[in-house]
Amino acid sequence: MTQQLNGKVALVTGASQGLGKQFAETLASAGATVVVASRRREPLEAVATEIASQGGTAYVVELDVTDVESIGSAIDGAIEQAGRIDILVNNAGLTVNRLIRDVTPEDFDLVVGTNLRGAFFVAQQVGAHMSERGDGKIINLSSILADFVMPGVSVYCMTKTAISQMTSAMALEWARKNIQVNALAPGFVDTEINAEFFDSPAGQQIMGRFPGQALQQPESLDSTLLFLASAASDHTTGRTFRVDDGQALGAFQGARSRPPPDEARK
């Protein structure tokens, strides 16, 4: 992979596993110094060690996106260690799998607080830092479920639709500061979070509707991520890029009749 991000510093939230880990490793392999962030320090240290073993540079900050004070402390820590933040990958997210009738206020607050409120305030604070410097790339994580719905993940779907609109609003306000804000919307990706569900009969039924009849691999998002993080996207802002291997072309036929999934997924 070419070193197209040499000299850049990237902050990746939710980087202890899954897509966040993949994003951090991809950015590091392209030459960026990476700051990995999540609530759990131990798995972050493992990610940083793996990046270092491949010749990259990574720092660790603990971050709870539901806590605005934690967001501020993590961003300060990232800047103190790495000098600045050029790229934000706003990846932290989760879901609670319940039908609408069973969603509790606590469920709602957890999903909205993490996926939307957390993403907003991380971007707000990193955007303020980027505005002072007059340069930056913000990549918010949306989902194929921003445009489609499935039983059992209604609140998750709502937050991902909102992320796309949030991305447009931030792009508009920060364009004159030379900050490009875009969203990446994956389909169903093969990660440890998804594994149990897609091994189940319900998961196999859904996967059978995909044109390729397979989950995306995490690395299938690499090229779009690098486009959005690099100078190649200097004139692209306010867009949501769905990268789903065509899954949406077949995955949602008959969705109303399917039971809710048992496991969280991106």
In a domain, 132, yes or no: yes
Number of domains in the chain: 1
- Look at residue 1 and tell me if it is in a domain: no
Is residue 4 in some structural domain?
A: no
Give the pLDDT confidence of 70-113 residue by residue, as tens digits.
999 999 999 999 999 999 999 999 999 999 999 999 999 999 99
Q: Is the pLDDT of residue 194 over 80?
A: no
Q: What pLDDT sits at residue 257?
A: 40
CA 34 to chain centre: 15
| Cβ–Cβ < 8 Å for 16, 94 | no
Confidence of residue 248 (pLDDT cuts 50, 70, 90): confident
Q: What is the CATH number of the domain that holds 174?
A: 3.40.50.720
pLDDT tens readout for residues 223-236: 999 999 999 999 99
The 3-state DSSP class for residue 56 equals coil
pLDDT tens digit sequence for 118-134: 999 999 999 999 999 99
* Claim: this prediction has a pTM higher than 0.85: yes
Contacts of 46 (CB under 8 A, 6+ apart): none
Residues recorded for the chain: 266
Residue 73 lies inside a defined structural domain of this protein: yes
Of 29, 68, 67, the residue nearest 47 (C-alpha): 29
266 located within any domain: no
Identify whether 102 is part of a domain: yes
In this prediction, residue 2 carries a pLDDT of 61
Range of the domain at 25: 9-257
Please check whether residue 262 lies inside any domain of the structure. Answer: no
**How many CB atoms within 10 Å of residue 170?**
23
Strands (E), 39-104: 58-62, 87-90
Tell me if 265 is assigned to some domain: no
CB 32 within 8 A of CB 9: yes
* CA quadruple 247, 248, 250, 252: dihedral, nearest 10: 120
Asked whether the predicted pLDDT for residue 250 surpasses 80, the reply is: no
The percent of residues in the chain predicted with pLDDT above 70, rounded, is 93
**Enzyme catalytic residues:** 156
**How far, in Å, are 14, 21, 63 from residue 40 at the CA level?**
9, 13, 8
